Each structure stands twice: as C-alpha cells, then as structure tokens.
Amino acid sequence: MFKFKDKANPVGVIHKVAEIEEKLVKYARMWDEQKTRGFWLSKSDRSRLTHFMLVSLDDFMISVAILSIPGPDKKATVLDAMDRLYEYTVREALPIWLRPFAEPVKKYVIYVLVSFAIDWAVQKYKAGSWGKTVETGALARILSKVGCESFPCIRCRRDA
C-alpha cells in the first residue's frame, strides 16, 4: 500500500552561489517582461506563473547539483532561491485582499510542496536508469561541468 511520508528530507545551510544569484536576476527580468496586472485574473495567468516557478525550480536544482556541498545544503540553497523568487512574483501579484495570507501560503508552497518536489526529483534521479548514463539534456550538462563520465562518478567515486 502507498504510504505518504509526513516529513520532507532535512534542510541544511544556505550557501550564496553566484550562478543562483545571476539566475534570480534573470528570472526577475523575465517575469517583468511577461507579467500582467495579476495572476488571479485568469486561469491562464495562474498556469503561466506555475510553469514559470517550476522551470525556475528545475534550473536552480541543476545549478546546485554540481556543487561540492552536502545534499541538505543544496536543498536549502534551492529553497532560499525559490523563496526569494516567490516574493518577487507571487506576493506582488496577489490582490490586496489576499496579501495578509501571502506568508502562510508561501511557507506551505515553498517549504512543503517545493521541498517534497525536490526530494521526489532527487529520489527519481538517483533511482532511475536514465540517471546512470551520459547522453543529452540536464545530466549531460551537469556531468560535463564536473568532468564526470557517469552518475555516480566511477572515476572519482563520488556523487556528481
């Protein structure tokens, strides 16, 4: 029977990473170019914002994957980036009557939903057969940055 785990994996210490900071600026610029009056106006605006946040989550996860810091610290760094991006995009798009609820909603979205999403993605990545070879896409980019040939790295006996 399927059992839902009630706690996300632990979160470590936030590291300031130049690449993440640059991506936050890039995403803020992208959001400014495409934002409308507010994302509560239509379903397509909410869908666009959700897509925007998921794409940025994926990008942040790829950026920290190659860092030589512990896994919980990588997660903390990504959650911090998502928290700051949420503040810039979602909170500012809320209508005035919803703004008092912005902080509890953010805590749930970032520190529960996104935290579980990170755990899920890492688990699938490590358990999946697609994560074991160098072909194309995200895995190839990550491994080429650190000079590894496979995951886990056979040559240096460490996770990429």
Please state which of the ranges 44-58, 95-109, 121-135 shows the lowest mean pLDDT: 121-135
> In which band, very low, low, confident or very high, does the pLDDT at 38 lie, cut at 50, 70 and 90?
low
Domain residue ranges in the chain: 18-127, 132-160
pLDDT digits (tens, 9 = 90+) for 67-103: 888 888 899 999 999 999 998 888 777 778 888 888 8
Higher per-residue pLDDT: 84 or 154: 84
- Predicted model pTM: 0.71
Model confidence at 56, pLDDT cuts 50, 70, 90, reads very high
Q: How far apart are CA 133 and CA 139, in angstroms?
A: 8
